[in-house]
Chains A and B, each alone.
Chain A
Protein backbone atom coordinates (compact mmCIF):
# COMPACT_ATOMS: atom_id res chain seq x y z
CA UNK A 1 0.00 0.00 0.00
CA UNK A 2 2.71 2.45 0.90
CA UNK A 3 4.38 1.73 -2.43
CA UNK A 4 1.24 2.98 -4.13
CA UNK A 5 1.05 6.11 -2.01
CA UNK A 6 4.71 6.90 -2.75
CA UNK A 7 4.07 6.30 -6.45
CA UNK A 8 0.98 8.52 -6.31
CA UNK A 9 2.85 11.33 -4.63
CA UNK A 10 5.49 11.29 -7.35
CA UNK A 11 2.82 11.32 -10.05
CA UNK A 12 0.89 14.13 -8.38
CA UNK A 13 4.01 16.25 -8.13
CA UNK A 14 4.94 15.74 -11.77
CA UNK A 15 1.43 15.84 -13.24
CA UNK A 16 0.51 19.03 -11.41
CA UNK A 17 3.89 20.66 -11.88
CA UNK A 18 4.51 21.07 -8.14
CA UNK A 19 8.24 21.46 -8.74
CA UNK A 20 8.98 22.82 -5.30
CA UNK A 21 7.65 19.74 -3.53
CA UNK A 22 9.30 16.38 -2.93
CA UNK A 23 7.59 13.09 -2.19
CA UNK A 24 8.64 13.49 1.47
CA UNK A 25 6.84 16.83 1.69
CA UNK A 26 3.49 15.19 0.91
CA UNK A 27 1.73 13.56 3.81
CA UNK A 28 -0.68 10.66 3.13
CA UNK A 29 -3.48 12.44 4.92
CA UNK A 30 -3.04 16.12 4.07
CA UNK A 31 -6.12 17.48 2.30
CA UNK A 32 -5.13 18.00 -1.33
CA UNK A 33 -7.79 20.60 -2.03
CA UNK A 34 -9.02 23.54 0.00
CA UNK A 35 -6.92 24.27 3.07
CA UNK A 36 -4.24 21.65 2.58
CA UNK A 37 -2.24 21.74 -0.62
CA UNK A 38 -4.62 24.26 -2.22
CA UNK A 39 -5.24 22.46 -5.50
CA UNK A 40 -8.15 23.56 -7.71
CA UNK A 41 -10.70 22.24 -10.20
CA UNK A 42 -8.18 22.05 -13.06
CA UNK A 43 -5.89 19.94 -10.89
CA UNK A 44 -8.85 17.67 -10.21
CA UNK A 45 -9.29 17.19 -13.96
CA UNK A 46 -5.60 16.44 -14.35
CA UNK A 47 -5.86 13.82 -11.62
CA UNK A 48 -8.81 12.26 -13.44
CA UNK A 49 -6.60 11.99 -16.54
CA UNK A 50 -3.87 10.43 -14.41
CA UNK A 51 -6.29 7.87 -12.93
CA UNK A 52 -7.27 6.86 -16.44
CA UNK A 53 -3.82 6.76 -18.02
CA UNK A 54 -1.87 5.21 -15.16
CA UNK A 55 -4.48 2.97 -13.54
CA UNK A 56 -7.15 2.45 -16.19
CA UNK A 57 -9.91 3.92 -14.03
CA UNK A 58 -12.34 6.29 -15.75
CA UNK A 59 -14.33 8.84 -13.78
CA UNK A 60 -17.10 10.16 -15.97
CA UNK A 61 -18.37 12.82 -13.60
CA UNK A 62 -15.94 15.41 -12.26
CA UNK A 63 -18.03 15.59 -9.06
CA UNK A 64 -17.03 12.00 -8.26
CA UNK A 65 -13.50 13.25 -8.02
CA UNK A 66 -14.15 15.30 -4.87
CA UNK A 67 -14.29 12.31 -2.56
CA UNK A 68 -11.64 10.28 -4.33
CA UNK A 69 -9.06 13.06 -4.33
CA UNK A 70 -9.45 14.17 -0.74
CA UNK A 71 -6.02 12.89 0.27
CA UNK A 72 -3.26 10.68 -1.13
CA UNK A 73 -4.61 7.93 1.09
CA UNK A 74 -8.18 8.16 -0.24
CA UNK A 75 -6.78 8.07 -3.78
CA UNK A 76 -4.72 4.99 -3.02
CA UNK A 77 -7.73 3.26 -1.43
CA UNK A 78 -9.89 4.04 -4.46
CA UNK A 79 -7.27 2.76 -6.88
CA UNK A 80 -6.78 -0.45 -4.93
CA UNK A 81 -10.51 -1.01 -5.01
CA UNK A 82 -11.02 -0.22 -8.69
CA UNK A 83 -7.89 -0.83 -10.68
CA UNK A 84 -8.02 -3.17 -13.63
Chain B
Protein backbone atom coordinates (compact mmCIF):
# COMPACT_ATOMS: atom_id res chain seq x y z
CA UNK B 1 0.00 0.00 0.00
CA UNK B 2 1.40 3.38 -0.96
CA UNK B 3 2.23 5.85 1.84
CA UNK B 4 -0.51 8.31 2.72
CA UNK B 5 0.12 11.71 1.18
CA UNK B 6 -0.08 14.56 3.72
CA UNK B 7 -2.60 17.15 2.58
CA UNK B 8 -1.26 20.64 3.16
CA UNK B 9 -3.51 23.69 3.30
CA UNK B 10 -1.51 26.46 1.65
CA UNK B 11 -4.08 29.21 1.37
CA UNK B 12 -7.58 30.22 2.30
CA UNK B 13 -10.13 32.87 1.49
CA UNK B 14 -13.40 33.84 3.12
CA UNK B 15 -16.23 36.32 3.02
CA UNK B 16 -19.12 36.31 5.47
CA UNK B 17 -21.29 38.55 7.63
CA UNK B 18 -18.31 39.08 9.94
CA UNK B 19 -15.69 40.02 7.42
CA UNK B 20 -14.73 40.43 3.81
CA UNK B 21 -11.52 38.44 4.15
CA UNK B 22 -9.91 35.93 6.49
CA UNK B 23 -8.25 38.59 8.67
CA UNK B 24 -11.51 40.50 9.18
CA UNK B 25 -13.33 37.28 10.03
CA UNK B 26 -10.68 36.48 12.66
CA UNK B 27 -10.88 39.93 14.20
CA UNK B 28 -14.65 39.63 14.57
CA UNK B 29 -14.39 36.19 16.13
CA UNK B 30 -11.69 37.33 18.54
CA UNK B 31 -13.65 40.43 19.53
CA UNK B 32 -17.01 38.64 19.76
CA UNK B 33 -18.53 40.86 17.07
CA UNK B 34 -21.28 38.90 15.41
CA UNK B 35 -22.80 39.76 12.05
CA UNK B 36 -26.45 38.85 12.68
CA UNK B 37 -29.00 41.59 12.08
CA UNK B 38 -32.16 42.58 10.20
CA UNK B 39 -32.13 41.56 6.55
CA UNK B 40 -31.15 44.65 4.59
CA UNK B 41 -30.29 43.50 1.07
CA UNK B 42 -32.59 40.61 0.28
CA UNK B 43 -36.16 41.73 -0.36
CA UNK B 44 -38.40 39.56 1.73
CA UNK B 45 -41.46 40.20 3.84
CA UNK B 46 -39.56 38.61 6.73
CA UNK B 47 -36.86 41.26 6.68
CA UNK B 48 -37.63 42.80 10.05
CA UNK B 49 -38.69 39.77 12.07
CA UNK B 50 -36.05 37.29 10.97
CA UNK B 51 -32.40 38.12 11.51
CA UNK B 52 -29.64 36.87 9.23
CA UNK B 53 -25.92 37.16 8.62
CA UNK B 54 -25.63 39.14 5.41
CA UNK B 55 -22.39 39.99 3.67
CA UNK B 56 -21.95 43.76 3.74
CA UNK B 57 -21.57 44.22 0.03
CA UNK B 58 -24.19 44.57 -2.66
CA UNK B 59 -23.97 42.66 -5.92
CA UNK B 60 -23.10 45.89 -7.69
CA UNK B 61 -20.17 46.45 -5.36
CA UNK B 62 -18.97 42.90 -5.83
CA UNK B 63 -19.11 43.23 -9.61
CA UNK B 64 -17.21 46.47 -9.37
CA UNK B 65 -14.51 45.32 -6.99
CA UNK B 66 -14.06 42.03 -8.82
CA UNK B 67 -13.73 43.93 -12.09
CA UNK B 68 -16.41 41.86 -13.77
CA UNK B 69 -18.10 42.90 -17.04
CA UNK B 70 -21.61 44.21 -16.41
CA UNK B 71 -23.11 42.32 -19.32
CA UNK B 72 -22.26 38.87 -17.97
CA UNK B 73 -24.66 37.30 -15.47
CA UNK B 74 -23.14 36.35 -12.13
CA UNK B 75 -25.45 35.41 -9.30
CA UNK B 76 -24.64 36.45 -5.76
CA UNK B 77 -23.41 32.96 -4.79
CA UNK B 78 -20.92 33.08 -7.65
CA UNK B 79 -19.81 36.61 -6.81
CA UNK B 80 -19.10 35.60 -3.22
CA UNK B 81 -17.27 32.50 -4.44
CA UNK B 82 -15.11 34.50 -6.85
CA UNK B 83 -14.22 36.89 -4.05
CA UNK B 84 -13.21 34.17 -1.59
CA UNK B 85 -11.45 31.89 -4.05
CA UNK B 86 -9.30 34.75 -5.31
CA UNK B 87 -8.10 35.44 -1.78
CA UNK B 88 -7.27 31.75 -1.35
CA UNK B 89 -5.32 31.56 -4.58
CA UNK B 90 -3.39 34.72 -3.81
CA UNK B 91 -2.58 33.51 -0.31
CA UNK B 92 -1.23 30.27 -1.75
CA UNK B 93 0.58 32.09 -4.56
CA UNK B 94 -0.98 29.77 -7.13
CA UNK B 95 -0.22 30.05 -10.80
CA UNK B 96 -2.74 27.69 -12.43
CA UNK B 97 -0.51 27.37 -15.51
CA UNK B 98 2.50 26.06 -13.60
CA UNK B 99 1.94 22.49 -14.74
CA UNK B 100 0.56 21.03 -11.52
CA UNK B 101 -2.79 19.26 -12.00
CA UNK B 102 -5.26 21.58 -10.30
CA UNK B 103 -8.92 20.93 -9.64
CA UNK B 104 -11.81 23.05 -8.42
CA UNK B 105 -14.32 21.36 -6.17
CA UNK B 106 -17.06 23.75 -5.16
CA UNK B 107 -20.32 23.35 -3.29
CA UNK B 108 -23.64 25.16 -3.22
CA UNK B 109 -27.30 24.54 -2.48
CA UNK B 110 -28.77 27.85 -3.61
CA UNK B 111 -26.92 27.93 -6.93
CA UNK B 112 -28.60 30.57 -9.04
CA UNK B 113 -31.90 30.39 -7.16
CA UNK B 114 -31.56 33.99 -5.97
CA UNK B 115 -31.87 35.07 -9.59
CA UNK B 116 -34.48 32.46 -10.52
CA UNK B 117 -36.80 33.43 -7.69
CA UNK B 118 -36.41 37.11 -8.52
CA UNK B 119 -37.00 36.78 -12.25
CA UNK B 120 -39.38 33.82 -12.16
CA UNK B 121 -42.18 35.67 -13.95
CA UNK B 122 -39.97 38.37 -15.50
CA UNK B 123 -38.17 35.91 -17.72
CA UNK B 124 -41.43 35.08 -19.46
CA UNK B 125 -42.57 38.67 -19.77
CA UNK B 126 -39.45 40.36 -21.08
CA UNK B 127 -35.98 39.64 -22.44
CA UNK B 128 -34.33 42.05 -20.02
CA UNK B 129 -32.82 39.62 -17.47
CA UNK B 130 -32.74 36.44 -19.51
CA UNK B 131 -28.95 36.33 -19.43
CA UNK B 132 -29.43 34.97 -15.90
CA UNK B 133 -31.39 31.92 -17.04
CA UNK B 134 -28.33 29.67 -17.49
CA UNK B 135 -27.10 30.54 -13.97
CA UNK B 136 -29.82 28.52 -12.26
CA UNK B 137 -28.14 25.09 -11.96
CA UNK B 138 -25.80 24.47 -9.00
CA UNK B 139 -22.98 23.45 -11.33
CA UNK B 140 -22.89 26.77 -13.12
CA UNK B 141 -21.00 28.74 -10.48
CA UNK B 142 -18.03 26.36 -10.51
CA UNK B 143 -17.83 26.63 -14.27
CA UNK B 144 -17.69 30.41 -14.07
CA UNK B 145 -15.16 30.32 -11.23
CA UNK B 146 -12.97 27.83 -13.11
CA UNK B 147 -13.04 30.13 -16.11
CA UNK B 148 -12.10 33.16 -14.04
CA UNK B 149 -9.33 31.40 -12.12
CA UNK B 150 -7.94 29.50 -15.10
CA UNK B 151 -8.59 26.01 -13.73
CA UNK B 152 -9.09 23.40 -16.42
CA UNK B 153 -8.00 19.99 -15.18
CA UNK B 154 -11.00 19.04 -13.09
CA UNK B 155 -14.13 20.94 -12.07
CA UNK B 156 -17.07 19.67 -10.09
CA UNK B 157 -19.79 20.73 -7.66
CA UNK B 158 -21.17 18.92 -4.65
CA UNK B 159 -24.63 19.62 -3.25
CA UNK B 160 -25.53 17.76 -0.08
CA UNK B 161 -27.30 20.51 1.84
CA UNK B 162 -25.44 21.82 4.88
CA UNK B 163 -22.51 19.38 4.65
CA UNK B 164 -21.70 20.31 1.03
CA UNK B 165 -18.47 22.27 1.50
CA UNK B 166 -17.09 19.81 4.04
CA UNK B 167 -17.63 17.11 1.42
CA UNK B 168 -15.87 19.23 -1.19
CA UNK B 169 -12.85 19.54 1.10
CA UNK B 170 -12.97 15.80 1.71
CA UNK B 171 -13.06 15.00 -2.00
CA UNK B 172 -10.13 17.31 -2.66
CA UNK B 173 -8.02 15.49 -0.09
CA UNK B 174 -9.06 12.10 -1.44
CA UNK B 175 -8.34 13.01 -5.07
CA UNK B 176 -4.85 14.21 -4.14
CA UNK B 177 -4.24 11.01 -2.16
CA UNK B 178 -5.52 8.94 -5.08
CA UNK B 179 -2.94 10.59 -7.30
CA UNK B 180 -5.55 12.24 -9.52
CA UNK B 181 -4.67 15.82 -8.64
CA UNK B 182 -1.65 17.67 -7.26
CA UNK B 183 -3.79 20.33 -5.70
CA UNK B 184 -7.41 21.29 -5.30
CA UNK B 185 -9.25 24.49 -4.61
CA UNK B 186 -12.09 23.37 -2.39
CA UNK B 187 -14.94 25.06 -0.61
CA UNK B 188 -18.43 26.37 -1.01
CA UNK B 189 -20.79 29.27 -1.35
CA UNK B 190 -24.39 30.14 -0.64
CA UNK B 191 -26.07 33.54 -0.69
CA UNK B 192 -29.21 34.45 1.18
CA UNK B 193 -32.41 33.84 -0.78
CA UNK B 194 -36.14 34.07 -0.22
CA UNK B 195 -36.19 30.37 -1.00
CA UNK B 196 -34.05 29.40 1.97
CA UNK B 197 -35.37 32.04 4.37
CA UNK B 198 -38.95 30.94 3.71
CA UNK B 199 -37.94 27.30 3.59
CA UNK B 200 -36.44 27.19 7.05
CA UNK B 201 -39.26 29.36 8.32
CA UNK B 202 -41.81 26.88 6.97
CA UNK B 203 -40.05 24.15 8.94
CA UNK B 204 -40.54 26.30 12.03
CA UNK B 205 -36.81 26.17 12.81
CA UNK B 206 -35.94 29.80 12.10
CA UNK B 207 -35.65 31.64 15.37
CA UNK B 208 -36.85 35.17 15.86
CA UNK B 209 -34.01 36.93 17.57
CA UNK B 210 -30.50 35.55 17.79
CA UNK B 211 -29.81 31.83 17.65
CA UNK B 212 -28.62 30.15 20.84
CA UNK B 213 -26.48 27.14 19.98
CA UNK B 214 -26.50 24.38 22.62
CA UNK B 215 -28.74 26.38 24.91
CA UNK B 216 -31.68 24.70 26.66
CA UNK B 217 -33.98 27.41 25.32
CA UNK B 218 -32.72 27.47 21.74
CA UNK B 219 -35.52 27.53 19.19
CA UNK B 220 -33.96 27.70 15.78
CA UNK B 221 -31.30 29.05 13.50
CA UNK B 222 -30.42 32.30 11.79
CA UNK B 223 -29.44 31.94 8.15
CA UNK B 224 -26.29 33.53 6.80
CA UNK B 225 -24.48 33.88 3.52
CA UNK B 226 -20.82 33.23 2.90
CA UNK B 227 -18.19 31.77 0.65
CA UNK B 228 -14.89 30.21 1.66
CA UNK B 229 -12.21 28.24 -0.15
CA UNK B 230 -9.06 26.39 0.84
CA UNK B 231 -6.12 25.48 -1.35
CA UNK B 232 -5.10 21.90 -0.67
CA UNK B 233 -1.82 20.57 -2.02
CA UNK B 234 0.12 17.35 -1.78
CA UNK B 235 2.79 18.25 0.77
CA UNK B 236 5.55 17.53 -1.72
CA UNK B 237 4.05 20.02 -4.16
CA UNK B 238 3.94 22.71 -1.48
CA UNK B 239 7.57 21.93 -0.65
CA UNK B 240 8.60 22.15 -4.31
CA UNK B 241 6.89 25.52 -4.55
CA UNK B 242 8.58 26.64 -1.31
CA UNK B 243 5.24 27.50 0.24
CA UNK B 244 4.67 26.93 3.94
CA UNK B 245 1.52 25.00 4.82
CA UNK B 246 -0.75 26.78 7.28
CA UNK B 247 -2.39 23.53 8.40
CA UNK B 248 -3.05 19.97 7.28
CA UNK B 249 -6.27 18.13 6.53
CA UNK B 250 -5.64 15.01 8.52
CA UNK B 251 -9.09 13.48 8.88
CA UNK B 252 -12.44 13.32 7.13
CA UNK B 253 -15.56 11.22 7.29
CA UNK B 254 -19.04 11.09 5.82
CA UNK B 255 -21.90 8.94 7.04
CA UNK B 256 -25.68 8.93 6.68
CA UNK B 257 -28.06 9.10 9.59
CA UNK B 258 -30.69 7.19 7.56
CA UNK B 259 -33.35 8.24 10.02
CA UNK B 260 -35.54 10.90 8.44
CA UNK B 261 -35.51 13.29 5.48
CA UNK B 262 -34.63 16.29 7.60
CA UNK B 263 -34.51 15.46 11.29
CA UNK B 264 -31.50 13.82 12.91
CA UNK B 265 -31.86 10.73 15.06
CA UNK B 266 -31.92 11.67 18.74
CA UNK B 267 -28.72 9.79 19.44
CA UNK B 268 -26.94 11.41 16.49
CA UNK B 269 -25.89 8.14 14.87
CA UNK B 270 -24.81 9.69 11.57
CA UNK B 271 -22.84 12.38 13.40
CA UNK B 272 -21.15 9.80 15.59
CA UNK B 273 -20.16 7.64 12.63
CA UNK B 274 -18.76 10.61 10.70
CA UNK B 275 -16.66 11.76 13.66
CA UNK B 276 -15.43 8.22 14.23
CA UNK B 277 -14.36 7.85 10.60
CA UNK B 278 -12.53 11.18 10.62
CA UNK B 279 -10.61 10.19 13.74
CA UNK B 280 -9.71 6.85 12.16
CA UNK B 281 -8.35 8.53 9.02
CA UNK B 282 -6.41 10.97 11.17
CA UNK B 283 -5.20 8.11 13.39
CA UNK B 284 -6.25 10.08 16.44
CA UNK B 285 -8.16 9.29 19.59
CA UNK B 286 -11.04 11.53 20.68
CA UNK B 287 -8.82 12.82 23.50
CA UNK B 288 -6.32 14.14 20.94
CA UNK B 289 -8.84 16.71 19.69
CA UNK B 290 -8.17 20.11 21.26
CA UNK B 291 -11.18 22.01 19.94
CA UNK B 292 -14.45 21.06 18.28
CA UNK B 293 -16.09 23.55 15.94
CA UNK B 294 -19.60 22.15 16.15
CA UNK B 295 -22.33 22.26 13.53
CA UNK B 296 -24.45 23.79 16.30
CA UNK B 297 -27.26 25.39 14.26
CA UNK B 298 -29.31 26.01 17.42
CA UNK B 299 -32.27 24.02 16.18
CA UNK B 300 -33.79 21.91 18.96
CA UNK B 301 -33.07 18.78 16.95
CA UNK B 302 -29.51 19.33 15.71
CA UNK B 303 -27.94 20.43 18.96
CA UNK B 304 -29.54 17.55 20.85
CA UNK B 305 -28.42 14.99 18.28
CA UNK B 306 -24.94 16.44 17.93
CA UNK B 307 -24.61 16.80 21.70
CA UNK B 308 -25.60 13.18 22.16
CA UNK B 309 -23.10 12.07 19.54
CA UNK B 310 -20.36 14.04 21.31
CA UNK B 311 -21.25 12.47 24.64
CA UNK B 312 -21.18 9.00 23.10
CA UNK B 313 -17.75 9.74 21.71
CA UNK B 314 -16.30 11.17 24.92
CA UNK B 315 -18.22 9.27 27.56
CA UNK B 316 -19.03 12.25 29.76
CA UNK B 317 -19.47 16.01 29.65
CA UNK B 318 -16.26 16.53 31.60
CA UNK B 319 -14.23 14.59 29.05
CA UNK B 320 -15.29 16.83 26.17
CA UNK B 321 -12.67 19.14 24.72
CA UNK B 322 -13.65 22.82 24.44
CA UNK B 323 -16.33 23.12 21.77
CA UNK B 324 -18.31 25.94 20.23
CA UNK B 325 -20.62 26.74 17.39
CA UNK B 326 -19.68 29.87 15.47
CA UNK B 327 -23.09 30.09 13.80
CA UNK B 328 -24.20 32.82 16.17
CA UNK B 329 -21.53 34.95 14.46
CA UNK B 330 -22.16 34.16 10.81
CA UNK B 331 -25.57 32.52 10.73
CA UNK B 332 -25.99 29.13 9.15
CA UNK B 333 -24.39 29.56 5.76
CA UNK B 334 -25.71 26.26 4.40
CA UNK B 335 -23.42 24.92 1.68
CA UNK B 336 -20.67 27.32 2.69
CA UNK B 337 -20.78 26.31 6.37
CA UNK B 338 -18.28 23.47 6.09
CA UNK B 339 -15.79 25.78 4.38
CA UNK B 340 -16.16 28.96 6.45
CA UNK B 341 -15.90 26.81 9.56
CA UNK B 342 -12.85 25.07 8.08
CA UNK B 343 -11.29 28.53 7.84
CA UNK B 344 -12.27 29.22 11.47
CA UNK B 345 -10.80 25.85 12.51
CA UNK B 346 -7.51 26.72 10.82
CA UNK B 347 -7.55 30.19 12.41
CA UNK B 348 -7.92 28.45 15.76
CA UNK B 349 -4.79 26.43 14.94
CA UNK B 350 -2.87 29.46 13.74
CA UNK B 351 -3.73 31.66 16.70
CA UNK B 352 -4.03 28.90 19.31
CA UNK B 353 -7.46 30.06 20.47
CA UNK B 354 -10.90 28.58 20.92
CA UNK B 355 -13.69 30.80 19.61
CA UNK B 356 -16.73 31.57 21.73
CA UNK B 357 -20.19 30.07 21.43
CA UNK B 358 -22.35 33.19 21.73
CA UNK B 359 -25.79 33.55 23.33
CA UNK B 360 -25.40 30.63 25.70
CA UNK B 361 -26.78 30.67 29.21
CA UNK B 362 -28.20 27.26 30.12
CA UNK B 363 -27.02 23.80 29.07
CA UNK B 364 -29.40 21.36 27.43
CA UNK B 365 -30.90 19.61 30.43
CA UNK B 366 -30.57 16.05 29.17
CA UNK B 367 -26.93 16.55 28.12
CA UNK B 368 -25.47 19.04 30.57
CA UNK B 369 -22.66 19.97 28.16
CA UNK B 370 -21.30 23.48 28.28
CA UNK B 371 -19.68 25.13 25.25
CA UNK B 372 -16.81 27.56 25.41
CA UNK B 373 -18.42 30.94 25.96
CA UNK B 374 -15.40 33.24 25.89
CA UNK B 375 -12.35 33.46 23.66
CA UNK B 376 -9.72 31.23 25.25
CA UNK B 377 -6.03 30.73 24.55
CA UNK B 378 -5.19 27.06 24.36
CA UNK B 379 -2.56 24.79 22.95
CA UNK B 380 -4.26 23.42 19.86
CA UNK B 381 -2.82 20.72 17.62
CA UNK B 382 -6.01 19.25 16.23
CA UNK B 383 -9.43 20.76 15.47
CA UNK B 384 -12.52 18.73 14.59
CA UNK B 385 -15.24 20.44 12.54
CA UNK B 386 -18.76 19.09 12.01
CA UNK B 387 -21.27 19.82 9.26
CA UNK B 388 -24.58 17.99 9.09
CA UNK B 389 -27.16 18.39 6.35
CA UNK B 390 -30.68 17.42 5.30
CA UNK B 391 -30.97 13.94 3.99
CA UNK B 392 -28.99 12.71 6.99
CA UNK B 393 -25.74 13.78 5.38
CA UNK B 394 -23.13 13.99 8.18
CA UNK B 395 -19.57 15.10 7.57
CA UNK B 396 -16.59 15.70 9.83
CA UNK B 397 -13.19 17.19 9.03
CA UNK B 398 -10.05 17.27 11.16
CA UNK B 399 -7.41 19.96 10.72
CA UNK B 400 -4.00 19.69 12.34
CA UNK B 401 -0.98 21.87 12.87
CA UNK B 402 1.22 19.13 11.57
CA UNK B 403 0.96 15.71 10.08
CA UNK B 404 2.39 12.58 11.66
Q: Taking beta carbons and an 8 Å cutoff, which residues of A are in contact with B?
A: 40-42, 45, 48-49, 61-62
Contact = CB atoms under 8 A, between A and B. Distances in A.
Nearest to B204: A62
Interface in B347-398: none
A70 to B, nearest CB: 19
Contacts of A62: 204
Contacts of B128: none
B65 interface: no
Interface in B2-31: none
A48 B262 contact: no
Nearest to A62: B204
Contacts, number: 13
Contacts of A40: 260
Interface of B: 202-204, 260-263
B202 A45 contact: yes
B208 to A, nearest CB: 10
B104 to A, nearest CB: 35
13 contacts: A40-B260, A41-B260, A41-B262, A41-B263, A42-B261, A42-B262, A45-B202, A45-B203, A45-B204, A48-B204, A49-B202, A61-B204, A62-B204
Instruction: List 5 tightest A-B contacts by C-beta distance, closest first.
Output: A62-B204, A41-B263, A45-B204, A45-B203, A40-B260
**Interface SS of B by simple majority:** loop
A45 B204 CA distance: 8
* Residue from B202, B203, B204, B261 having most chain A Cβ neighbours under 10 A: B204
A40 to B, nearest CB: 7
A31 B260 CA distance: 20
By DSSP majority rule, is chain A's interface helix, strand, loop, or mixed? helix
A42 B301 CA distance: 13
B114 to A, nearest CB: 25
Contacts of A48: 204
Given A41-B263, A62-B204, 11 more contacts: A40-B260, A41-B260, A41-B262, A42-B261, A42-B262, A45-B202, A45-B203, A45-B204, A48-B204, A49-B202, A61-B204
A6 B204 CA distance: 28
Contacts of A49: 202
Contacts of A61: 204
Contacts of B261: 42
B297 to A, nearest CB: 16
A62 B263 CA distance: 14
Nearest to B203: A45
Contacts of B263: 41
Contacts of B203: 45
A42 B263 CA distance: 9
A61 B208 CA distance: 12
A45 B261 CA distance: 14
A41 B202 CA distance: 12
A50 to B, nearest CB: 13
B264 to A, nearest CB: 11
Contacts of B204: 45, 48, 61-62
Nearest to B301: A41
B365 to A, nearest CB: 15
Contacts of A42: 261-262
A6 to B, nearest CB: 28
Nearest to B260: A40
B127 to A, nearest CB: 36
A41 B261 CA distance: 10
A61 to B, nearest CB: 8
B265 to A, nearest CB: 12
